[in-house]
Amino acid sequence: MEETFVLDIRDGVPRPNRLDSRLVPHLRDKGLSREKIKNLIKDGLVTVNGRIVCLPRTALAPGDRIEVSLRSAPSSLVPKKGDLEVLYRDAVLVVLDKPAGLAVHPGAGGERETLAHRLAAEFPELAAMGGFRPGVVHRLDKDTSGLLLAALTEQCRLLLAGMFARREIHKEYLALLHGTPKNRQGTIETPIGRDSSHKTRMAVNERGKEAKTAYRVIYSEPGGRFSLAAIRIFSGRTHQVRVHMQSIGHPLLGDPLYKSPAFPEAAAARQMLHASALRFVHPLPDATGLEPGRTLSFFRPPPRDFSACALKLSRRVLRVVITGAPGCGKSALLTALADAGLPVFSADKAVAGLYAPGGEGTRRLRGRFGDLFASDAGSGVDKAALGRAMREDQTLRREVEALVHPLVYQLMQGFWADCEASGHPFAAAEIPLYFETARSGKEPPLTVGVRCPYPVRHARLVRLRGWTEEVIAGMEAWQWPEDKKMAACDFVVDNSGSLAELKAETEKVLAFLRGEREKNDTAFAEKFSALCAGGFYFKDEQGGAAPF
């Protein structure tokens, strides 16, 4: 196929007056780079005043007439059949949803199967176009998924290339970013060029080409692990989104090339970038039967790996508090959960550590009460004497609790944090006075109550712990009535029977926890899917609006 371009130089020739430099501003809109223009000249496809000129540096003079033959040789790409998800096609163009992991066209890596190969197999008319990328007018990185526009005729390719060059095609992306940007929306306008220290990377570079990216944060994970952002690009620089988001400290999750030094291993096998929205005015409405000026809009939600990555990073350790009245079997249930693989925490053991010689609880009690409960700095707390005093004096009891309970909760929070960092799905803490101390915080844990009739509990306390009637009565008085405590729990375990029966109850607790995790996962997946289905997030000349 051939198209002729004619340029008459009717006025003075501005510097530089080279032939190739003169053609660049006129042929850039047709998708031709300076290098391609040089090749046209060298191939004898350019004449000056009717004479073929093969030197790109040929000098021009006022009155010269330049004629360029935009002729393409048949494509040398060997068609290969493969899956193509076509969202729209007509006689001159096609819109596709490209999967991640598939290169758009052959490059330096010598890919044997690319989207261009599949296009050539699906649309034989592309054979009339030249090169190894027939029909390709823009590209997505190999590991970026989403909408791609391709031309089926050379005329349409040239027109679309010009539209891209003039920024007349609206493109938006969805991205999962590391962390949470300080500003919920913003524009990045820094030039991008080759990274001088890394030949395969681009970088913000003062000597690079101008680039503009706008972003909007749609959702931020409460723990600050990641954000979902809508991104619009106004230029088409290599790796533009990846470079610009890294430049503000929030690289794409899963991107091995552009990441900060503190970037953690992400729950993704590729960079989490998806070309989600595309809007443009059809360049050849007459060829398709469309009315002139018809705008075509396309939106495609991200693939499953996007939501899977977000779900994995959104999961927090499911925190479980085991509570109940004295002697109900809280510790036995905690041991059974530990045997099932859950990390566990015991408030009673934490207090024992705090009251040990040199413990922080010992230090605080000595600071408040002198040697009343700890005879010297090297000894621990006399727990029997302290317990007796607390039962006799409610004011002293409340004072001791105010000194010691914050330490226990601090240790428990550290336990939760360690479990979170280790990736445990569940973790259990035995806190006898959980409800009485009212320290649920912003993210209250699930509560599992252990119920046991008072006569059974009483017998256990006497037989196993040697408690007197006075001690039992005092400990009961410090706590909510058992019925009230069990009513406040999310799940209740019956421990009025044997240890074998408690093991069966433990299986019920584990089933309950798995069900809660599944409910949380389902709720997040539905919320995330709704966020990703918002469509266009930025306004443009055609009036497309963001759902904010």
Q: Which residues are catalytic?
A: 141
SS3 160: helix
Q: What is the token pair recorded at 383?
A: 């727990």
Please compute Rg for the chain using Cα positions: 35
Which DSSP category does 490 fall into?
Answer: S
Q: If residue 400 lies in a helix (H) or strand (E), which one and from where to where? A: helix 394-422
Residue 69, SS3 per DSSP = strand
Contact by Cβ (8 Å): 494, 263: no
Distance of CA 303 to the CA centre of its chain: 13
Q: Is 190 in contact with 211 (CB distance < 8 Å)? A: yes
Asked if residue 147 lies in contact with residue 97, where contact means CB atoms within 8 angstroms, the answer is: yes
Neighbours of 491 (CB within 10 A): 17
Q: Tell me which amino acid residue 531 is.
A: L
Strands, sheet with 318-324, edge to edge from the N-terminal-most edge strand: 344-346, 426-430, 318-324, 446-451, 491-494
Residue written as token pair 């989207």: 115
Are the beta carbons of 75 and 116 closer than 8 angstroms? no
Which of 267, 276, 279, 289 minimizes the C-alpha distance to 92? Answer: 289
Using the Cα atoms of residue 308, residue 309, residue 311 and residue 315 in order, give the sign of their dihedral.
positive
Residue 295 near residue 281, CB atoms below 8 Å: yes
